[in-house]
Chains A and B, each alone.
Chain A
Amino acid sequence: MKAFPIMQEKNLWTLLTTSNWRPFKGIFGFASYILSTIYVTIIAIIIALPLSLLTGIYITEYASSRIRRFFNPVIDLLSGIPPVIYGVWGTLTIVPFISEKLAPHFVDYSTGLSVLAGGIVLAIMIIPLIISILMEVFSSIPKEMKEASLSLGATKWQTVKKVIIRKSIPGIIAATVLAISRAFGETIAVMMVCGNVTQVPHSVFDPCYPLPALIANNYGEMMSIPKYESALMLAAFLLFIIIVFFNVISRVILIQIDKRYHL
C-alpha cells in the first residue's frame, strides 16, 4: 500500500500496543481496535465452527441426496446475501435481543451494540463459507476408507469421528483460517452492530470498534491531517498483511489435500 512508509518513522510497536487514540494530537494507538477485531472474530468462530461442522457432516454423510440437493441453494443464498442486509437484520433482531433479554442477566446495562452482537452476525456470515469448504473436504475422503471402517463393525458416528474428522483435520483448519480472515475484514455488517466506541472491551456486552470499521468511518475526514491518513493506511495495511498471510496458509493446506487424493 502506498501511504504506508510515512508511518514507519513513528515507533511501530508502541502504535500497536497502546490504546490511546487522539488523532488531533497526533497520538495513535491501535490496541483497542485490534483487540476488538480479535474478540469479535473469536466469538464468531466459536459459534460458527461447531454448527458448520455438524451441518457439513450431516449433509455429506447422513442426508439423502434430496436433502443435499435442497441444501446447496440454501448455502448459496446465505453466502449471497450482502453484508448490509446482515447488518440490518442484526440491528433489528440481535441487538434488541441482547439488550433486553440477555444482557440484564449478566451486566447492569448494555445497549446491545456489542462485541457479542458483532460476533453473532459475523458467525452467520461465515457459516456458509465454512460449510461449503468442509463439504468439499469431506467428500474428497475416499469411500473405501469409510467402508473399511463400517465393515469392521463401527457405527456410523464412530466412522465419522475416527475416520472422517481425523482425516480432514487439515481441511477443517484451512476452512477455519479462511473464515477467520473473512471475519477479520468484514466491515459494514460489524460496523452496524458493534457500537463503534474506542475502548478495549471488558466484557462481551461492551461496545467495540474493529479495524475495518475504523477505516470506513474515518476515511472521509482524514484528508485534513496527513498523519491521520497514514495511520489509517497503516490500519488497512495491517488488515491486508494479516489476511494475505492467513489466506496463503489455508490455500496451501487445501491444495495439499487436493493433491493427496486426486492424483
Chain B
Amino acid sequence: MRKLEEKFFKCLMIGSTILILSMLLYILYIIIHKGLPSLSWEMISQIPSGGFYLGKGGGVLNAIMGSLYLIVGAVALSLMISIPVVMFLNFSLKKKTRFASFARVTFDVLFGIPSIVYGAFGFTVMIFFGLKASLLGGIITVAMLIVPVMIRSIDEVAILVPKELLEATKSLGATNYETIKVVVRQLLPGISTAVLLSVGRGIGDAATVLFTAGYTDSVPTSLSQPAATLPLAIFFQLSSPIEEVQNRAYASALILTIIILVLSFAARYFSRRLSKNKI
C-alpha cells in the first residue's frame, strides 16, 4: 500500500512537471508556427504605410523602435534611482536596521502591484501636470514599474558583498568615490541581471504604456511625441477582423518572443561571466 502510494504520487509529480514543460514548448511552438509565415524583412524594417490596418503593406518598425526607446530610457532612469538606493540600504545604513528591512518589504509589495495600476496612476499624474501621452510619460511610468525589480535583484548581490571589502579600500586611503567604484565592480553581475530582467518585464508590458505612451504610426523623434510599443501593436492588430492584420499580430508576437528569449539567455550568460570578478 505504501509503495503503491509512493509510486502513484511520483507519477503524478513527474506528470505535472512534464505538463508544465510542455506548456512552455507548446506556447513557443504556437507562436513560431503562427508567426513565421507572415514574418518578413518588410515587417521589421518599415513603418505602417497607408491602409496598413486594412491589410496593406508596411511593418511594425514604429512599434519596435518605440519599445526600444522606451525601454532604454526607462532602464537608464531606473538605474539612476536604484543603484543609490541599494548603496544606501547596504553600505550607509548600520547593519540590519528596522528601516532597511521595512524598505525591502515595501519594494516587494511595490513589485506585486499590477502594471495597470501604475498605468492609471501615471496617467492621472500626467493629466495633473497637463502632459499628453508621450514617450517621456511612458518612460517614467515604465521606470516606476521596473525600479522595484531592479532594486531587489541588485540588492540580492549587494547583501553578499563583505563589509571588510569596504574597510580594506578605505584603509588604503581611497576616497569615497573610489570605494564606490570597487563596490560597483562587485555588483556588476547583479546589475546586469537586474537590467536584463527589468528590460524583459518592461518591454513586454502593455498595460502601463497603454495610456501613458500612446500609439502612433511613426517612429518618435522627440520625448514629447507619443510612441508605439510592441505589445500594444500586437493587441491592436489582433483585435482587427481582417485576417492579414491578425497574421501580422502573430508575427509581431514572434518578434517580441524572440527579443525576450535572447534577453533571458543573455541574462544567464552575463551573470555567469561577470561573476568571475567575485571574491
A positions within 8 Å CB-CB of B: 1-3, 50-52, 54-55, 57-59, 62-63, 71, 73-74, 76-78, 80-89, 91-93, 124, 127, 131, 155-158, 160, 178, 181-182, 184-188, 192, 212, 215-216, 219-220, 232-233, 236, 239-240, 243-244, 246-248, 251-252, 255
The answer to whether B116 and A216 touch across the interface, beta carbons within 8 angstroms, is yes
Are A57 and B13 also in contact (CB < 8 A) when A187-B115, A236-B117, A243-B113 are?
A: yes
Instruction: Check if B253 is an interface residue, CB within 8 A of chain A.
Output: yes
Are A3 and B204 also in contact (CB < 8 A) when A58-B14, A73-B268, A78-B23 are?
A: no
Assembly CA distance A62 to B27 (angstroms): 27
Contacts of B235 in A (CB 8 A): 84, 87, 188, 192
Assembly CA distance A91 to B31 (angstroms): 11
5 A-B pairs in the complex with CB atoms less than 8 angstroms apart: A76-B268, A157-B10, A160-B9, A182-B112, A220-B211
Contacts of A186 in B (CB 8 A): 114
Q: Is the interface of A mostly helix, strand, loop or mixed?
A: helix
The answer to whether A216 and B24 touch across the interface, beta carbons within 8 angstroms, is no
**Sorted from nearest, which 3 A-B pairs have the closest CB atoms?**
A185-B114, A82-B204, A58-B13
The answer to whether B204 and A212 touch across the interface, beta carbons within 8 angstroms, is no
Contacts of B3 in A (CB 8 A): 155
Assembly CA distance A188 to B105 (angstroms): 27
**Contact for A82 among B30, B203, B250, CB less than 8 A:** B203
The answer to whether A76 and B264 touch across the interface, beta carbons within 8 angstroms, is yes
Instruction: Check if B16 is an interface residue, CB within 8 A of chain A.
Output: yes
The answer to whether B211 and A212 touch across the interface, beta carbons within 8 angstroms, is no
Contacts of A155 in B (CB 8 A): 2-3, 5-6
Assembly CA distance A243 to B118 (angstroms): 13
Contacts of A157 in B (CB 8 A): 2, 5-6, 9-10
Assembly CA distance A135 to B256 (angstroms): 29
Instruction: Check if B125 is an interface residue, CB within 8 A of chain A.
Output: yes
Contacts of A71 in B (CB 8 A): 17, 21
CB of B243, distance to nearest CB on chain A (Å): 13
Contacts of A81 in B (CB 8 A): 27, 204, 257, 260
Instruction: Check if B234 is an interface residue, CB within 8 A of chain A.
Output: yes
Interface string of B110-136 (1 = CB under 8 A from A): 001111110111011100100000000
The answer to whether A255 and B205 touch across the interface, beta carbons within 8 angstroms, is no
CB of B22, distance to nearest CB on chain A (Å): 10
Assembly CA distance A92 to B32 (angstroms): 12
The answer to whether B16 and A54 touch across the interface, beta carbons within 8 angstroms, is yes
The answer to whether B116 and A187 touch across the interface, beta carbons within 8 angstroms, is yes
Instruction: Check if B226 is an interface residue, CB within 8 A of chain A.
Output: no
Are A187 and B114 also in contact (CB < 8 A) when A59-B17, A82-B203, A84-B234 are?
A: yes
Instruction: Check if B74 is an interface residue, CB within 8 A of chain A.
Output: no
CB of B268, distance to nearest CB on chain A (Å): 7
**Contact for A55 among B16, B34, B121, B253, CB less than 8 A:** B16
CB of A218, distance to nearest CB on chain B (Å): 11
Assembly CA distance A83 to B235 (angstroms): 11
Contacts of B5 in A (CB 8 A): 155, 157
CB of A148, distance to nearest CB on chain B (Å): 18
Instruction: Check if B279 is an interface residue, CB within 8 A of chain A.
Output: no
Assembly CA distance A77 to B31 (angstroms): 14
